[in-house]
Chains A and B, each alone.
Chain A
């Protein structure tokens, strides 16, 4: 167990360092932006106000509220304290809602949409890829070009096509939102049904993209493994084919798990844009609104949350990987 503990601590250390670094980037980058966001928001609030001292008072009040008049390091300290309390300040574009409030409303939609979709896509993709490598012939010939095409299709493009085909033309599913616009979120049967119906299109458009990429990766991994010496040796020994396939699948799977950890960031990025197409009430749509409203506290908090989500998913996968990979188990036995 000592070996595993070392592995775990090593990963945890990396997780912490990356987090600090991401946090710094997140704080600094949006604040380098030219222009004064407070001036922009005040200009909108003060439209039609002819009293210039009034505008000035509003401006100062906002500067005070958001703390943009203090030096950068002081802002950082304040930011750090507030984030630790879960307080991301006020949203510029949706004032007087707080950023935490806006994010709380959208975060769960994104988590509930993306993680199941990525996992389902990964499972189906790997199975198909392994089958293609094992069966070869017609199945491979059809699946591979299709996978290459699908995995190169931009995620938002898949979303648009799904929407046009199944939403606008066939009218099987609603075209936008996370639930019916006439409903209020509650635990009623009607609401849950509406959520499930609205869930289908964003879900499957993400799944299909994931399937393509994973199938290609798994296929080449499995082909490498099928040509490996241990497979030939096992065949000479007369071990049953199904058992060999089991070994091959397992060995080919390991790099695919690391692959998932490394590509989860890209996948989430693509899925966020797909959310926008469906106006799904998740982080992607929130981010779009924040960008349009020049709302830097909201942008900075959303990107921070997305980074933390991705980092965390990564961490979990690495920890699980430690359990599955025999090489790490071998270290544990020492």
Chain B
């Protein structure tokens, strides 16, 4: 046993897959210890806030302000306000004013503004320009001047006694607050989803639930498959025929169709994560049963099994001590594949709207389902679906790598 484990851990593929999987497991276990928020708390009012650090504006006003004189501050401020169309309009004007196109770079804000203020003249008559366009340029010029003016912004508050607005503070353009002194800030590394929930916390909870679903489904499927395969292969005769009849039926009837029918029949109310896992397990044992059976048939007439039979051991004893050890490696590999396909099956069902009931726990499939319903993929809100897809792909990829690695250890013909 120890030797086999050592051998398995010498396989590069297995170790790589195992380390990805172990990392995911560790994150799933330890993250909730550091961030104890319930995963489905609704934080944001609105949908799909982009990832980033959210700093309370109100608290920033009362935090100590520091004056920093940074050279690029003004340029950056304007750059963030100047839209792509405005830049294009400025470029058009400059070309009309006689500046060679090669010298104008709409992306370089500082240079663009210098050129603008050097060349703009509201009285200049550009041939072919409409009046609306001329007014637009005047507005644009004023807006740019406003942005550049060193005036402070005024903060005022309604006096509760008189009901009048009173100035309580002014904020200069050179005022800064230290983020660590602001009372309230929240890091949303993956933004929020369509309900305004923190995606990272939700994703990790979802990964945990999906892994649990995978494990339950995988273990159920493997147990059923193993039992039926052992019975069919070892006992043979009528038992074999009966089991193979059922197995052949379920091989051809698409599992996905069965899953849809069963989960629909269970109904929305009864459909918890655990129920879905059991349903997936009950519908996906076929492959294991077939494979175990064929392995057992090849083992059935080996000398050590015959010897055991002659010694009068019971069927249970023979199966447990003379047959199981020989197929154990195979069964573990099958279990790994079952877990990963169980996770995929849950995701597929959830996208169809047949996943676990939505109010209690998130699962990876449900997160995709929500993102799709709220059209995150069309709106360009990548943080709502991409991390989920990557997580699913990483889980199944790591499990299949482990499987391939083990396959190469146990099947020498496949070794490189």
Q: Could you tell me which A residues sit within 8 Å of B by CB distance?
A: 14, 17-18, 21-22, 25-26, 29-35, 148-149, 151-157, 160-161, 163-164, 168, 175, 220, 223-224, 227, 262, 265-266, 268-270, 272-273, 276-277, 287-288, 291-292, 296, 299-300, 303, 306-307, 310-311, 314
- Whether A265 touches B254, Cβ cut-off 8 Å, given contacts A148-B400, A287-B260, is yes
CA of A299 to CA of B259, assembled, Å: 12
Does B248 sit at the interface, judged by CB under 8 A?
A: yes
Residues of B within 8 A of A262 (CB): 251
B290 to chain A, nearest CB (A): 9
**Residue in B closest to A161 when the chains form the complex, CB atoms:** B389
Establish whether residues A152 and B265, one from each chain, have CB atoms under 8 Å apart when the complex forms: no
Question: What is the count of residue pairs linking A and B with beta-carbon distances less than 8 angstroms?
Answer: 141
CA of A204 to CA of B249, assembled, Å: 31
**Of A157, A220, A270, which is within 8 A of B392 by CB?**
A157
Establish whether residues B413 and A227, one from each chain, have CB atoms under 8 Å apart when the complex forms: yes
Establish whether residues A269 and B254, one from each chain, have CB atoms under 8 Å apart when the complex forms: yes
**Residue in A closest to B340 when the chains form the complex, CB atoms:** A152
- Whether A168 touches B267, Cβ cut-off 8 Å, given contacts A223-B414, A227-B413, is no
B interface residues, tally (CB under 8 Å): 45
B415 to chain A, nearest CB (A): 9
Establish whether residues B348 and A156, one from each chain, have CB atoms under 8 Å apart when the complex forms: yes
Residues of A within 8 A of B377 (CB): 160, 163-164, 168, 277
CA of A34 to CA of B380, assembled, Å: 39
| 14 A–B pairs (Cβ distance < 8 Å), ordered by A | A18-B248, A33-B265, A160-B372, A163-B377, A265-B257, A268-B254, A270-B348, A288-B352, A299-B260, A299-B264, A300-B261, A307-B253, A310-B253, A310-B254
- Whether A30 touches B413, Cβ cut-off 8 Å, given contacts A175-B378, A273-B351, A292-B353, is no
Does B258 sit at the interface, judged by CB under 8 A?
A: yes
Establish whether residues A152 and B264, one from each chain, have CB atoms under 8 Å apart when the complex forms: no
**Residue in A closest to B266 when the chains form the complex, CB atoms:** A33
Q: Could you tell me which B residues sit within 8 Å of A by CB distance?
A: 248-249, 251-258, 260-262, 264-267, 269-270, 340, 344, 347-348, 351-354, 368, 372, 377-378, 380, 382, 385, 389, 392-393, 396-397, 399-401, 404, 413-414
The prevalent SS among residues of B at the interface is helix
B19 to chain A, nearest CB (A): 15
**Residue in A closest to B399 when the chains form the complex, CB atoms:** A152
- Whether A30 touches B354, Cβ cut-off 8 Å, given contacts A152-B400, A277-B372, is no
B70 to chain A, nearest CB (A): 34
CA of A26 to CA of B260, assembled, Å: 10
Establish whether residues B351 and A276, one from each chain, have CB atoms under 8 Å apart when the complex forms: yes
Establish whether residues A34 and B269, one from each chain, have CB atoms under 8 Å apart when the complex forms: yes
8 A-B pairs closest in CB distance:
A269-B256, A265-B254, A152-B396, A29-B261, A157-B389, A303-B257, A33-B265, A32-B265
Interface hub of B249, B266, B270, B344 (most chain A Cβ within 10 A): B344
**Residue in B closest to A290 when the chains form the complex, CB atoms:** B264
Residues of B within 8 A of A307 (CB): 253-254, 257
Residues of A within 8 A of B351 (CB): 156, 273, 276-277
**Of A32, A160, A276, A299, which is within 8 A of B389 by CB?**
A160
